């Protein structure tokens, strides 16, 4: 399995902090935000990770992560010429992926807990799943993509619905087999003019090939000023270069 960490976007929801710096370099728990995703990937046994970010931010992120040895990873970088959505950013990893399964993580999502159960069995068991999403019970599902689950299967996914059918948000970690890039080629831009990850997941859902797991640990999408502050309040500071699991502040 290989990893793709998505660290692009304009960070407009975090103005003015992001006027001069990519949001994924802002500190959370004592180190840059994207370090948390890299540490998760390393702890799961991944060795090769590609970071996708905006053209103007490649240099800054490359300086921050170095060659990946701090994390026990081989890290490569790919520039996204302009924001085009999560699915478009993922498409840039096609050559990198080879024939391996992919763990895709959003760099502004902070998981304080183990993700082993999420990836377990995906590489070896292709009988029922070609993709897997991670779900989380949330208090405000209208802010997220929302999954409806019946009899153990995802039967609908709605992006930021006015009347959510459940409180299960689709959060920022995904598993895909290599045919995901063929799926991306079939997508059309949304009303935002972007290729949406929810459309990838809906494609697999319609095929009956979408699995899911539910995450029970603390999680925050730290992409707004309010949630960014909450993420820093949630996590005890960690020392740079220390690979111990994140500690949640009581």
CATH number of the domain residue 51 falls in: 3.90.550.10
In a domain, 21, yes or no: yes
To which H or E segment does residue 243 belong?
none
Q: Is the pLDDT of residue 246 over 80?
A: no
Number of domains the chain contains: 1
pLDDT of residue 243: 47
In a domain, 149, yes or no: no
Q: Is the pLDDT of residue 215 over 70?
A: yes
Q: How deeply is 218 buried, as exposed, middle or buried, from its count of CB atoms within 10 A (0-12, 13-18, 19+)?
A: middle
In a domain, 217, yes or no: yes
Provide the residue range defining the domain that includes 223. Answer: 2-134+170-234
> Residue holding tokens 């029922």?
128
What mean pLDDT do residues 174-196 have? 92
**DSSP assignment string, 143-207:** GSEEEEEETTEEEEEEES-SS-S-SEEEEEEEEE-TTHHHHHHT----TTSS--HHHHHHHHHHH
pLDDT of residue 45: 96
pLDDT of residue 241: 43
The answer to whether 65 and 34 have CB atoms below 8 angstroms apart is yes
In a domain, 243, yes or no: no
Banded pLDDT at 239 (limits 50, 70, 90): very low
pLDDT of residue 240: 38
- Rounded Cα–Cα distance for residues 183 and 131 (Å): 11
Banded pLDDT at 1 (limits 50, 70, 90): very high
pLDDT of residue 237: 57
Q: Three-state SS for 209?
A: coil
In a domain, 94, yes or no: yes
What pLDDT, in 10s, does the model give residues 111-163?
988 999 999 999 887 778 999 999 999 998 998 889 999 999 999 998 888 99
User: What's the whole-number average pLDDT of the chain?
Assistant: 90
pLDDT of residue 9: 81
In a domain, 10, yes or no: yes
The answer to whether 173 and 115 have CB atoms below 8 angstroms apart is yes
In a domain, 249, yes or no: no
Provide the whole-model pTM.
0.91
The answer to whether 30 and 44 have CB atoms below 8 angstroms apart is no
- Rounded Cα–Cα distance for residues 153 and 127 (Å): 15
To which H or E segment does residue 64 belong?
helix 58-65
Strand-strand pairing, 219-221 and 2-6 = unpaired
What mean pLDDT do residues 161-184 have? 95
Strand-strand pairing, 131-137 and 102-106 = unpaired
- More confident: 124 or 37: 37
């Amino acid at each position: 399995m290989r990893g793709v960490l998505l660290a692009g976007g304009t960070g407009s929801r975090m103005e003015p902090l992001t006027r001069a710096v990519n949001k994924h370099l802002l500190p959370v728990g004592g180190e840059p935000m994207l370090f948390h995703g890299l540490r998760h990937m390393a702890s799961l046994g991944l060795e090769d990770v590609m970071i996708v970010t905006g053209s103007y931010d490649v240099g800054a992120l490359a300086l921050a992560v170095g060659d990946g040895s701090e994390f026990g990873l081989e890290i490569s970088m790919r520039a996204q010429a302009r924001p085009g959505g999560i699915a478009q950013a993922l498409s840039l990893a096609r050559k990198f992926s080879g024939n391996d399964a992919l763990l895709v993580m959003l760099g502004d999502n902070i998981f304080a807990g183990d993700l082993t159960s999420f990836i377990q069995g995906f590489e070896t068991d292709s009988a029922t799943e070609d993709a897997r999403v991670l779900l989380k019970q949330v208090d405000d599902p209208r802010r997220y993509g929302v999954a409806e689950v019946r009899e153990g299967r995802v039967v609908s996914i709605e992006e930021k619905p006015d009347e959510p059918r459940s409180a299960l948000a689709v959060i920022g970690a995904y598993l895909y087999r290599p045919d995901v890039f063929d799926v991306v080629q079939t997508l059309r831009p949304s009303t935002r003019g972007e290729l949406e990850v929810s459309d990838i997941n809906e494609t697999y859902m319609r095929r009956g090939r979408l699995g899911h797991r539910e995450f029970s640990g603390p999680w925050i999408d730290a992409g707004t000023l309010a949630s960014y502050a909450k993420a820093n309040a949630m996590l005890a500071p960690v020392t740079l270069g220390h690979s111990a699991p994140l500690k949640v502040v009581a």
